[in-house]
Structure 1
Amino acid sequence: MTGTSLTTARALPADAKALQEPTTVTLRPRFEGSNICTWIGFKHVDYLVEEAVLEHLRRNGWAAGRLYEEYGLCVDLVDIDAAILAATHIDDTVTARVHVPAQDTADGEITLAVTLHTDAPTPVKTATATVRVALRHDPRGGAAAPLPEPVLPYTTALVDRAARVRPTALPTVPATAADGPELLRALTAGANAHGWSRRVPYYHCHFTERLQMSGYLRMMEAAVDRFLDDRGISIKRLLDEQDWIPVVPRNSVSMLAEVRMEERIHTVLTVENVFKRLTYTARMDCYVLRGGVPVHTATGRITHGYAHIESRRDWNLVSFDDRMLDALNGRRP
């Protein structure tokens, strides 16, 4: 089967003012995200934010599919910073409100603020997030219509955002380090960190070949899981022994550079701060090795507390015990 040739494109809104109009959309969390009892994990809360952003663009004439098929523009969520204020459950109806924040700087990316509420039995604000969107031009796929004026301020030929984000000091890596365990040891040396490497699979990518935001969120979730297991406090172990589960009040990811399908990506999770016996914050950094040089492709942070399961619906926050504190601070038994 062949696609139809591109001749004319429908006009986009005359300017970007349409994006200033708030959007309210009703969503449901995905069943996959209900990992502990009926609570929705942080990754799937972020997915609700993503869906709300896509619907906001869609309703204002900037639908992701249309932008790609007609103009060769990829809608890329390149930055997300989310605060989770209350639990979302699998059967909740979620109302999302999307608007342009007052502090938007219009600096080449679309900035949107998202607020999530659950609706029953009374409205509860469950999350807030700020998202940044770039329109990345894709030369694949053949002919495309000329780019209309409204999209030009947000269009880029390459996602290259390292200058936008306060840099993390790059570890010293031997020039002879191969794309494997030696590189990972160099990336984690001298830090309270755990690292792992994997080949980027196609199902973490979008627009044919590039790693997308949801892929980074999956890696962040996996990095935490691996870190806790490495420290002897795996999620299953604490669940079995103490009925404890991790909860996430805040998470963020910023893309710095593009990653392509089947590249080998190295993810490092570093504990930055343990606040009393209540929460810890870890930084995720991702790298690919190109031309013998590690390229920093993303950075993010995630904050965890722990909760004791009280019933099938309720939990209570708990203080870290000595075993947890020792493990988080890198003191192994």
Structure 2
Amino acid sequence: MTLETGTGLKALLETETTVHVRPRYEGSNINTWIGFKHVNYMVEEAVLEHFRSAGLPSRELFEELGLGLDLVDLDTRILHAFHQDDVARATVRPATEGGDTRIGLAVTLFVERDGKEVKAVTSKVRVSLRIDSYLPAEGLPAELEQFAVPRISGLTGQSEHDGREVSALPATPLSDGRGTTGDDPVLELLTSGANAFGWKWRIPYPYCHFNERLQLSGYLRQVEEVVDLFLADRGISIKTLLDDRRWIPVVPHSRVQLLDEALMEEDLYTVFTVEEVFKDFTYTARTDFYVVRDGRLVQTATGRITHGYAVFENRRDWSLVNFDERVLNALGGTS
């Protein structure tokens, strides 16, 4: 296959596409509801199909031109919950701003409820075409140069810790398995004086793509993991509230932005910071990601989620609940 990059880019930047997608079975962890991570996976699939429809599929971009398709910013709001076996109609509308070095897309997922189609998800997506560093292609079509980058870096959003000198412990030993939340000078630095929880973890091969770098879906998995660990650390683990009250976590809003590259087998320092509790109903939290290179912290990504709880009345229906004193104390770090 020979890519028609000129006509393909025009279609990519000017044509709206539609595709039908389903949530994966794996994302149904409590009853038949689908978690935020897998909702974002449906958004990702709609984006990939948009590139295919334009004649610029991710496989050919890489194999022919040495360009890795990277979602570098994913900002998603969930308006209606998805269930197993739902079919979403996904529309992808071009939204690239003039002079931007990233391809902008607006994704909307619709689902049928009570015989009517409703808007279930809205998402803003930014895509970079990362030039492969293992086997770089000879020559790059001029029309794609604006969006082709030698490295994912230089985006806004870095924290005060980015670039600080640190004395890191040796790499996480394999015997630590899921990583460590224990005594670690880097974690202590990153969480000091904040209502935060830190986790050091070795980046595994299954979370990466294009040979070495952690992909955005890997960060989504990391957000889900650190929330699970944070709640357990505060004494309100997901299973604890599920058993005690039939409460389940819900995430109506999530965002992840890539700021730099995190590489396979590096130690990733994930810091989850509670920022605000809104009317005892939801809380917002920031998740920051770092690696240590040459004795300095490098922030590789940042993100936010809005988190709440719902109680399920039966195997089909649920409703949002207010936080009680136990949950508020845990979120505030006073329990």
Distance 1:254 1:38 in 2: 29
Q: Which residue among 38, 46, 55 is the counterpart of 1:52?
A: 46
Alignment of 1:34-73 (within 5 A): 34-73=28-67
Match of 1:111 in 2: 104
Q: Which residue among 62, 76, 87 is the counterpart of 1:82?
A: 76
Distance 1:230 1:173 in 2: 27
Given the superposition, is the C-alpha separation of residues 44 and 150 from structure 1 closer, same or farther in structure 2, using an over 3 Å criterion?
same
Match of 2:159 in 1: 168
Q: In the TM superposition, what is the alpha-carbon distance from 1:203 to its structure 2 partner?
A: 0.2
**Matched position secondary structure for 1:47:** helix
Say whether residues 1:128 and 2:129 are aligned partners.
no
**Matched position secondary structure for 1:184:** helix
Distance 1:263 1:218 in 2: 16
Q: In the TM superposition, what is the alpha-carbon distance from 1:305 to its structure 2 partner?
A: 1.0
Say whether residues 1:257 and 2:260 are aligned partners.
yes
* 1:276-316 deviation line (CA, Å, top 9, x unaligned): 21100110000001111111110000111110011111100
**Matched position secondary structure for 1:89:** coil
- Is 2:203–2:268's contact at 8 Å kept on the other side of the alignment? yes
- Is 1:15–1:150's contact at 8 Å kept on the other side of the alignment? no
Given the superposition, is the C-alpha separation of residues 110 and 326 from structure 1 closer, same or farther in structure 2, using an over 3 Å criterion?
same
Match of 1:144 in 2: 137
Distance 2:145 2:55 in 1: 15
> Structure 1 stretch 71-80 or stretch 146-155: which is displaced more?
146-155
**Matched position secondary structure for 1:74:** strand
- Is 2:167–2:186's contact at 8 Å kept on the other side of the alignment? no
* 1:23-60 deviation line (CA, Å, top 9, x unaligned): 00001110000111111100000000000000001110
Q: In the TM superposition, what is the alpha-carbon distance from 1:252 to its structure 2 partner?
A: 0.2
Say whether residues 1:18 and 2:1 are aligned partners.
no
Distance 1:261 1:328 in 2: 32
What RMSD, in angstroms, separates the aligned Cα atoms of the two structures?
Answer: 1.7
Q: In the TM superposition, what is the alpha-carbon distance from 1:16 to its structure 2 partner?
A: 2.7
Distance 2:65 2:296 in 1: 34
- Is 1:173–1:186's contact at 8 Å kept on the other side of the alignment? no
Corresponding pairs, count: 321
Given the superposition, is the C-alpha separation of residues 295 and 116 from structure 1 closer, same or farther in structure 2, using an over 3 Å criterion?
same
Say whether residues 1:202 and 2:205 are aligned partners.
yes
Match of 2:248 in 1: 245
Q: Which amino acid aligns with 1:118?
A: V
* 1:76-104 deviation line (CA, Å, top 9, x unaligned): 00000000001111110111000013x73
Q: Structure 2 regions of 5+ residues with no counterpart?
A: 172-183
- Is 1:280–1:304's contact at 8 Å kept on the other side of the alignment? yes
Say whether residues 1:94 and 2:97 are aligned partners.
no
Q: Which amino acid aligns with 1:131?
A: V
Distance 2:264 2:73 in 1: 20
Q: In the TM superposition, what is the alpha-carbon distance from 1:17 to its structure 2 partner?
A: 2.1
Given the superposition, is the C-alpha separation of residues 299 and 107 from structure 1 closer, same or farther in structure 2, using an over 3 Å criterion?
same
**Matched position secondary structure for 2:194:** coil
Q: Which amino acid aligns with 2:187?
A: L
Distance 2:279 2:170 in 1: 38
Given the superposition, is the C-alpha separation of residues 312 and 175 from structure 1 closer, same or farther in structure 2, using an over 3 Å criterion?
closer
Using the size of structure 1 for normalisation, the TM-score is 0.92
Q: Structure 1 regions of 5+ residues with no counterpart?
A: 1-7
Distance 2:19 2:289 in 1: 33
**Matched position secondary structure for 2:186:** helix
**Matched position secondary structure for 1:13:** helix
* 1:160-183 deviation line (CA, Å, top 9, x unaligned): 03xx32332228967434357121
- Using the aligned pairs only, state the percent identity: 52
- Is 1:67–1:74's contact at 8 Å kept on the other side of the alignment? yes
